[in-house]
Amino acid sequence: VATAARTQVAIIGGGPAGLLLSHILHRNGVDSIVLERQSRAHVLGRIRAGVLEAGTVALLREVGLGARMDREGHPHDGSAIAWEGRPRFFIDTQKFTGKRMMAYGQTAITEDLYAARDTAGGEVIDEADKVQLHALTARRPHVTYTKQGASRRIDCDYVAGCDGFHGVSRASIPASVLKTYEKSYPFGWLGVLSETPPYPDLCYCYHSRGFALASMRTPLLSRYYIQCELDARLEDWPDERFWQEFKARCPPEMAERIVTGPSIEKSIAPLRSFVAEPMQYGTLFLAGDAAHIVPPTGAKGLNLAVSDVFYLSRALIESCRSGKTHYLERYSDMALRRVWASARISWWLTMLLHRFPDETPFEERMRFDQFDYLRASEHAQASLAEQYVGLPFEA
Ligand code: APR
Ligand code: PHB
């Protein structure tokens, strides 16, 4: 017989989405249990993106998670685009929206979230195996899993599926209910983390050799990426080759200022756009990568997880406190409006800034013109800045 527990919200996945949801629910008197498949060390060891929209920054502050971010994060007024053979361009979020962004790593946010859950005595069960969701369309769903070989069960009112793209939550929704949209891109990003002072601006580089990006984590920690082939292998990319290729893709005056050093992490990720609709099935609600994937261009992934959690926490708190389901019923539609907006801008930036292996000369010229128009038009700049800094949350 399984050991049973009871909570209001069973949260599947202890990444940023699941932990933030659990944290906000707790602050509002709603209890939850987080089930994470991996060990905590594994979750904290993952290197992911690190640019926060203005709304993400405001929300983290509002829920008591701003202290370290404000100490260690790097606020900035936008990002640069360096285009081979053309003058540099700046996406000026401060000028066009009055809002700033923040470079602060997802790894650090995850650390802050675990610390906050620990301080509050929150229950985050790691190394939870074989998580399964049951009776999702009944009034009382439940979740089963095994921990160190022993079966356990959690009875709950709601299940939050925050278990990422490969999780069990989305897979628990009947295929007939779910509509999915997908696009894969014919390249990946090779990323390097190095303990070197970063280039001062976050800078996206378009080059005929392929895309490159200079980003930062702290004054002594830099993050760099280059577009690579889908079948690229890490062993073919020693540090020296990476730096050489990176510098070849940025303007000479920028390349000169890049401080190189040994990498402390190196990884390859394919680029993909994916959206699943709806984000609800009975008492199950999806949030974050469990429901959608955006290509990293524009750094929308983590910010979307945060906006999903904003909408979902508001809905669950309302329901658990008052029994009203106004927001719960609208969760999927509301969250998806922002999801599609971010899906579009990350797709657009991906199409703009990368070399496509089989593109025609016409398509290439369209991209050049897109960039020239952006540089010439204040309206185009305002539009990009508004989307880059992040659209507001709906009331
Ligand atoms: N059972 C329990 N946990 C699971 C399961 C499962 N079957 N499958 C996956 N998980 C866990 C993963 O180990 C991971 O820790 O769910 C967590 C999901 O976390 P993320 O993949 O980080 O997704 P999310 O929390 O939605 O974070 C937002 O946006 O673009 C991205 O890089 C960004 O990871 C970030 C994400
Ligand atoms: C990052 O710092 O990892 C980063 C920054 C900007 C992006 C994507 C990733 O668009």
Average pLDDT over residues 329-333: 98
Ligand 1 centre distance from Cα of residue 15 (Å): 5
Residue 122 has pLDDT above 90, yes or no: yes
Average pLDDT over residues 32-47: 96
Strand order in the sheet with 74-76: 51-52, 101-103, 74-76
Task: Annotate 57-82 with b (16+ C-beta within 10 A) or e (fewer).
Answer: bebbeebebbeebeeebbebbbbbbb
Q: What is the pLDDT of residue 104?
A: 95
Confidence of residue 47 (pLDDT cuts 50, 70, 90): confident
Q: Is 296 in the pocket of ligand 2 (CB under 6 A)?
A: yes
Residue 2 has pLDDT above 80, yes or no: no
Average pLDDT over residues 261-289: 97
Q: What is the pLDDT of residue 342?
A: 98
User: What does the DSSP assignment read for 338-357?
Assistant: HHHHHHHHHHHHHHHHS--T
Task: Give the pLDDT confidence of 67-97 residue by residue, as tens digits.
Answer: 999 999 999 999 999 999 999 999 999 999 9
292 is a catalytic site residue? no
Q: What is the pLDDT of residue 49?
A: 86
Q: Which ligand has the minimum distance to the alpha carbon of residue 51? A: 2
Average pLDDT over residues 39-52: 93
Query: In this structure, which amino acid lies at residue 138?
Result: A
Of 52, 215, 222, 268, the one to substitute when testing ligand 2's pocket (max ligand atoms within 8 A of C-beta) is 215
Average pLDDT over residues 231-235: 97
Q: Is 297 in the pocket of ligand 2 (CB under 6 A)?
A: yes
Give this prediction's pTM. 0.97
Confidence of residue 262 (pLDDT cuts 50, 70, 90): very high
Q: Classify strands 78-83 and 203-206 as parallel, antiparallel or unpaired.
A: parallel
Q: What is the pLDDT of residue 3?
A: 79
List the catalytic residue out of 114, 311, 331, 388: 388
Residue 29 has pLDDT above 90, yes or no: yes
User: What does the DSSP assignment read for 78-121?
Assistant: EEEEEETTS--EEEEHHHHHS--EEE--HHHHHHHHHHHHHHTT
204 is a catalytic site residue? yes
Q: Is 12 in the pocket of ligand 2 (CB under 6 A)?
A: no
List the catalytic residue out of 99, 206, 296, 311: 296
Asked whether the beta carbons of 93 and 2 are under 8 A apart, the reply is no
Rg (CA), the chain: 21
Query: Which amino acid residue places its CA nearest to atom 4 of ligand 2?
Result: 49
Average pLDDT over residues 219-232: 96
Residue 140 has pLDDT above 70, yes or no: yes
Q: Is 49 in the pocket of ligand 2 (CB under 6 A)?
A: yes
Q: Which ligand has the minimum distance to the alpha carbon of residue 265? A: 2
Which ranges of the chain does DSSP label H, i.e. alpha helix?
Answer: 16-27, 40-45, 54-62, 67-72, 93-97, 106-119, 239-249, 252-255, 301-322, 326-353, 361-376, 378-389
Q: Is 156 in the pocket of ligand 1 (CB under 6 A)?
A: no
Residue for token pair 């984590």:
217
Structure tokens at 149: 């070989």
Structure tokens at 165: 């793209």
Report helix, strand or coil for 384: helix
**Backbone dihedral angles phi then psi of residue 159, each to the nearest 5 degrees:** -115, 130
Average pLDDT over residues 240-261: 97
Task: Give the pLDDT confidence of 10-27 residue by residue, as tens digits.
Answer: 999 999 999 999 999 999
Q: What is the pLDDT of residue 346?
A: 98
Task: Give the pLDDT confidence of 184-193 residue by residue, as tens digits.
Answer: 999 999 999 9
* Sign of the dihedral defined by the CA atoms of residues 190, 163, 325, 6, in that order: negative
Residue 1 has pLDDT above 70, yes or no: no
Average pLDDT over residues 205-219: 96
